[in-house]
Amino acid sequence: MEEKEKKQKQKQNKKQKHQHPNDQTSKPASDFSFKPSSEVKGLRFGGQFMVKSFPIRRARPLELLKILSYPPTNRNNNNSSSSSKIPFPSTTAFLPTNFTILAHQAWHTLTLGLGTKKSKVLVFVFESESMKLAVDRIWPPEIPLGEANKKLIRGLTGSEMARFKFRKGCITFYVYAVRKLGNMGFSCSDDLRTILESVVSLKDFLDHTAMLAMPHQRSINYQAPVAMAH
C-alpha cells in the first residue's frame, strides 16, 4: 500500500512539473513568481545558434493589439483624449523584423526542414507607465535576439520579473511582468491578465503572413481570417 501511495505522489509531482506552458493564467496575480532580473529565465534557443543573429524590433502600440487579436479602441463621438486611449499603456513589445521572418523561412528551407522557422515575440508589462517610459529610453529600438537576454532582461538591474511562455504554432510568446525589486503585488495586474488571456485564446499561427509588414509601412498587415482559425 505504501509503495502504491508513493507512486501516485510521484506521478502527481511529474504532472505539476511538466505542466503545459500555455496553462499559466489560473493563478491570481499576487501569486505570480517574481524573481530578480539576474535570475529569471530568459529566451531559449536550443541548438539553433543561427537565429541569435536575427533582429527583433520594438512594436507600435496598435501592432501589439493586432498580434493579440485584441478588440480595437472604442472611440466616442466627442474626440476626447480619454476616449481614444490605447490599451496597455505600460506595455512594451518586440516583434521579429521582416528580415527575421524571411530569414527563418530561408534557414528552414536550406536545412531541409531541420532549421527552425519559429519566431519569438517579447511582451514586457511594467508595473507603471512611468517605469515603461524610463526603460524605453534606454532600450534600443532594434536588437538581435541573441542579445535580448543580456540587454533587455539581465540589463534591468534593480528590477524583478515574472516570466510566462506560450507556444502558438510558428510563434513563441514570452511575456514578462516587470516591477521594481522589493515591491509587493503588481499594480498593472489587470492588463497583465488580459494580455495573458489574449495570448492563450489565440489559435496557432501556421505561418508568418500575418506579421509581414507592407513595403510602404512598418506595421503588421494583420488579417484575422487568414492568420487565425476562429
SS (H, E, C) 4-36: HHHHHHHHHHHHHHCCCCCCCCCCCHHHCCCEE
DSSP class of residue 158 equals T
pLDDT exceeds 50 at position 221: no
Mean pLDDT along residues 163-186: 93
Beta bridge partners of residue 205, listed in sequence order = 169
- The confidence score (pLDDT) of residue 3 equals 57
- Residue 79 near residue 183, CB atoms below 8 Å: no
Distance, in Å, from the CA atom of 169 to the CA atom of 174, rounded to the nearest integer, reads 14
Q: Which helix (H) or strand (E) holds 98?
A: helix 98-110
Mean pLDDT along residues 181-210: 87
Q: Which helix (H) or strand (E) holds 172?
A: strand 171-180
In a domain, 190, yes or no: yes
- Reference 204, options 176, 165, 172; nearest CA is 172
In a domain, 125, yes or no: yes
Mean pLDDT along residues 152-160: 94
**Residue 142, domain extent:** 35-67+88-102+111-213
Distance, in Å, from the CA atom of 43 to the CA atom of 120, rounded to the nearest integer, reads 9
pTM across the whole model: 0.74
- The confidence score (pLDDT) of residue 86 equals 85
In a domain, 147, yes or no: yes
C-alpha cell, 153? 532582461
In a domain, 169, yes or no: yes
**Lowest-pLDDT range, 19-28, 158-167, 176-185, 190-199?**
19-28
Distance of CA 225 to the CA centre of its chain: 22
In a domain, 83, yes or no: no
Beta bridge partners of residue 125, listed in sequence order = 91, 177
pLDDT exceeds 70 at position 4: no
- Residue 198 near residue 91, CB atoms below 8 Å: no
C-alpha cell, 126? 511594467
3-state secondary structure of 61: helix
Cite the beta strand spans of 108-170 per DSSP E.
119-126, 142-144, 159-168
Residue at grid coordinates 466627442? 78
In a domain, 118, yes or no: yes
- Residue 173 near residue 123, CB atoms below 8 Å: yes
- The confidence score (pLDDT) of residue 1 equals 53
In a domain, 3, yes or no: no
More confident residue, 211 or 120: 120
Phi, psi dihedrals of residue 57, rounded to the nearest 5°? -130, 155
> What is the pLDDT confidence band of residue 22, given thresholds at 50, 70 and 90?
low
For residue 13, how many other CB atoms are within 10 A of its CB? Answer: 10
Number of domains in the chain: 1
- Reference 121, options 103, 141, 90, 148; nearest CA is 148
Distance, in Å, from the CA atom of 205 to the CA atom of 197, rounded to the nearest integer, reads 16
In a domain, 134, yes or no: yes
